């Protein structure tokens, strides 16, 4: 399968992973119950490693579509930050409104000084620094941003050395100490991202066969060196297997894959709207009844997907189009 063609499997994995994370967060703050639905939701955080593998795979497609590293990083900036900033505004408005109107104090903290505000605007909150995020999911965006920066730096090397630079980054993730914060924090999850890079290289850059094999080999080694959990490794392997199968027999466009584009917006707004705002409607009676719990979650998820579609159309797409013009 050519990387320039629409990859409906990637779209499907995006919306499924985002929805699983959403269901996880819907049920995380409430009393734990022992039923199959709540057990399924409990593992929804595993949508994150799926996202990281997909991100590593897709980022090289994005790089192939740009002529210069600077164009690449400009497009990545506009892909991440405008929607992120919009979601920050949504989160802040909802938190403040709940506090002022009904006196509900959410678990989040709006930054009250210039340091906190700047860290929030630049995505340099936790885990980069000790400044807390105002939305539970923002920590993953810090990883994504640093992954992009690492690829941006590697992209300055000539093609024959680009893969070597990626190998060096992967080796460093295995041999350097693990940091919970600071500029090298992202190395702890680099293997997930690197796995996507390696699979892309193996499928679409056959001229560098042995270098690609080396990247995959060091990536596998770094999974163990960074102590990734067995369930993370399993999800990553499943994701890679699906990508490989799809390369032979591509998935056709379908109802779910059509919503792949809205997964980023869904990821950004589901906490403030689905939990901070609407979570108060999920009464004990709903929480304790599996059928009602599932129905409530499904209804809120559908509402969020519809809102995310609007956000994608009016926030994400204009930013993407502007980035293409600006890059030229």
Predicted confidence pLDDT, tens digits, the chain (328 residues): 555 578 999 999 999 999 999 999 999 888 888 899 999 999 999 999 999 999 999 999 999 888 899 999 999 999 999 999 999 999 999 988 888 887 766 666 788 889 999 999 999 999 998 888 988 899 999 999 999 999 999 999 988 799 999 999 999 999 988 777 788 899 999 999 999 999 999 999 998 999 999 999 999 999 999 999 999 999 999 999 999 999 999 999 998 999 999 999 999 999 999 999 999 899 999 999 999 999 999 999 999 999 999 999 999 999 999 998 875 6
Domain residue ranges of the chain, discontinuous segments joined by +: 8-327
Is the separation of the CB atoms in 81 and 122 below 8 Å?
A: no
Q: What is the pTM of this model?
A: 0.93
Long-range contacts formed by 26-35: CB under 8 A, 24+ apart: 26/274, 26/275, 26/279, 26/282, 26/297, 26/300, 26/301, 27/293, 27/297, 29/275, 29/279, 30/282, 30/287, 31/284, 31/287, 31/288, 33/287, 33/288, 33/290, 35/290
């Amino acid at each position: 399968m050519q990387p320039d063609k629409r990859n409906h499997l990637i779209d499907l994995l995006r919306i499924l992973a985002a929805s699983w994370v959403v269901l996880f967060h819907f049920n995380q703050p409430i009393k734990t119950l022992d039923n199959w639905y709540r057990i399924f939701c409990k593992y929804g955080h595993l949508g994150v490693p799926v996202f990281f593998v997909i991100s590593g795979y897709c980022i090289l497609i994005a790089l192939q579509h740009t002529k210069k590293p600077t164009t690449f990083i400009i497009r990545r900036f506009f892909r991440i930050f405008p929607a992120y900033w919009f979601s920050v505004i949504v989160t802040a408005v909802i938190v403040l409104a709940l506090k002022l109107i009904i006196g509900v104090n959410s678990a989040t903290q709006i930054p009250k000084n210039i340091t906190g505000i700047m860290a929030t605007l630049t995505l340099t909150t936790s885990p980069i620094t000790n400044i807390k995020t105002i939305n539970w999911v923002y920590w993953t965006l810090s990883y994504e941003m640093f992954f992009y920066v690492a690829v941006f730096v590697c992209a300055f090397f000539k093609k024959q050395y680009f893969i070597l630079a990626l190998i060096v980054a992967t080796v460093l993730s295995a041999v350097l100490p693990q940091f919970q914060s600071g500029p090298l924090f992202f190395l702890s999850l680099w293997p997930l991202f690197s796995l996507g890079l390696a699979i892309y290289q193996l499928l679409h850059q056959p001229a560098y066969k042995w270098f690609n094999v080396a990247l995959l080999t060091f990536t596998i080694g770094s999974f163990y060196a960074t102590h990734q959990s067995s369930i993370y490794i399993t999800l990553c392997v499943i994701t890679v297997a699906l990508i490989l199968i799809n390369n032979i027999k591509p998935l056709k466009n379908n109802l779910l894959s059509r919503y792949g584009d809205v997964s980023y917006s869904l990821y950004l707004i589901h906490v403030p709207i689905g939990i901070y705002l609407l979570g108060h409607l999920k009464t004990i009676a709903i929480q304790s009844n599996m059928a009602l719990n599932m129905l409530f979650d499904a209804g809120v998820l559908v509402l969020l997907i519809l809102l995310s579609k609007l956000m994608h159309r009016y926030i994400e797409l204009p930013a993407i189009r502007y980035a293409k013009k600006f890059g030229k």
